[in-house]
Structures are given as structure tokens and as C-alpha cells.
Amino acid sequence: MNTVKTVRELRAAVARARGEGKRIAFVPTMGNLHSGHAALVTKAAQRADFVVASIFVNPLQFGAGEDLDKYPRTLAADQERLLQAGCHLLFAPTVEEMYPDGMSVQTRVSVPHLSEGLCGASRPGHFEGVATVVSKLFNMVQPDLAVFGEKDFQQLAVIRAMVRDLNMPVQIIGEPTVRAEDGLALSSRNGYLTPEQRAAAPALYRTLSGMAEALRRGQRDYAALIAGGEAQLEAAGMRKDYLEVRHAVTLRPAQLDDRDLVVIAAAYLGNTRLIDNLYLHLETPSA
């Protein structure tokens, strides 16, 4: 696996692979890779001949006071993990390479509606930063397909909308969330948790699972369901950012006849913000 740091080297390496008739897959990341990222690369390798990954901690998607500076940078370990998972080329640019004229004059990509609630409400500008960097990376790599984790459910919805609305010729593939044995969704931010917080963290998944199970059994009082879930999170020492039952495609609040639902949450343990979600398809309409 080669590592390149410039757009020029990236384009040359991808052009060589294309010249050999290879189908190109892309996995964008911010590094500090875990088994969840490895699953994205494995999926990419199953669907294409040449897998490009990127590692770039994108300042444009972090708000003031968020964890941009302390976000873990672990390039050597990440390179090893990517290699093992079947990656062929790593693009690891600097901030200057990605934003040569500075971020304040950077053209932005904004996806309305889908970017606005949930994580978008507590992290203003976050999804604009994500959509902007992902569209730049797509233009640099020009992949046939790109793989994203379903843990970032709203991010995946925003990227699907961006690709559709801007007619980008990239197939977007969602990969199911990888979890620890106790249910906690793998995330680079789990590394911030103290041992006590780590022990409490699976309450998020347990809460979502309980709510999803109740929905499958026919519970349709979403407000009561959410209130019960909030009480569970609080009892586990978590501070809710949001806990919602939403339509899985539009992300609007769930209605009684919806069949495709997502139970979706963000919650704090100390200063660490964890997100998770469970998608469920109901065989019969909810009402």
C-alpha cells in the first residue's frame, strides 16, 4: 500500500489503476482506525479492484470548542490496519493541501433539511463541513463507489442526498455498524472514555434496542417511548443531546403509518459525545 500526501500524486496513482481497467472504491476517514473502519475497507475491496482510503481530520466540520485539537492522530497504526484490510492507496493530505487558499474562502457544499436537525442542531455547520470535504475528496479520487458507516446515519443520508442532487457519478454504499461485545458502537471517540464511563456506555445501545423492540411489538406512542428512553439514559449517567424516532429516509419525525424507522440518539458521558442508531423496517404500517 502506498501513502501519498498530495492531490497530484493521488491523481497519478488512481489514473494508473484506471489505466489497468480497475474499478475504484473509496473509503474516507479521519483516521484512528478501528474494526469498524476495517469493515468499510473490506466491503470496498469486495466491490472493486483498487481501494483508496483517505485520512484527514477535517477542521471544517469541527465547531468551536469541539475536539479538533485532541482528535487522535495515529498514522502508523492506521497504515498497518488499512494494509491488513486490503487497501491499496492511502491519501493523507495536510490541511494546506486540502484548503490551499484557507478555509474562509473555500466554496461550500450545503445540503438543506437533512443537515438541520439531530446532530446538525447541536453541531451547526458540521454537515456543511462534511459535505464540502467529501465532495472535494470525490473530485480528487473520482471513485466508482464509496463506502460509509451506518453509525453516522445522518451523515450517510446527507451524502446520499448530495450525490443525488449534484449528479455525482459515485455509488454510495452503507456498511452496518460494528459493535463491541457489549453493544457499544465502535468509534474513535470511545477512546476518550474513562473505564467507568466505558462501562456505562453500552446503555446507549441497550436503550435504542429496547425502543426498537417496543416498536416491533406495536408500540406507537413515540413520545412515551422517547420519554422512557431518556429516563434510561439518565439512569446510566448519560446526558441526552437528542433521542428520536424518525423516518429512516427523510429523517422527519416518525408518523404513525411509517414503515422505515430509525431510532437515533446522541448522548454525553462526561465531555464525550456518543452517537448511535438502529434502523428498523416494520412489515406492516405502524398504524
Catalytic residue annotation: 37
Torsion of CA 184, 186, 191, 192, to 10 degrees: -60
Counting Cβ atoms within 10 Å, is residue 167 exposed (0-12), middle (13-18) or buried (19+)?
exposed
Instruction: Give whichever of 40 and 215 is closer to ligand PAF, judged by the CB atom.
Output: 40
- Which residues form the interface with ligand PAF (CB under 6 A)? 28-30, 58, 61, 130, 133-134, 152, 155
Q: How far is the CB of 227 from ligand PAF (least distance, A)?
A: 30
Q: How far is the CB of 117 from ligand PAF (least distance, A)?
A: 18
Q: How far is the CB of 256 from ligand PAF (least distance, A)?
A: 33
Report the distance separating Cα 111 and Cα 109, nearest Å: 7
Instruction: Give whichever of 109 and 245 is closer to ligand PAF, judged by the CB atom.
Output: 109
Instruction: Give whichever of 54 and 232 is closer to ligand PAF, judged by the CB atom.
Output: 54
Q: How far is the CB of 268 from ligand PAF (least distance, A)?
A: 19
Q: 6-38 burial, b if ≥16 CB within 10 A, otherwise e?
A: ebeebeebbeebeeeebebbbbbbbbbbbebbb
The residues near 257 (Cβ < 8 Å, ≥ 6 apart) are 285, 286, 287
Instruction: Give whichever of 42 and 155 is closer to ligand PAF, judged by the CB atom.
Output: 155
Nearest partner of 162 among 141, 142, 137, 135, judged by Cα: 135
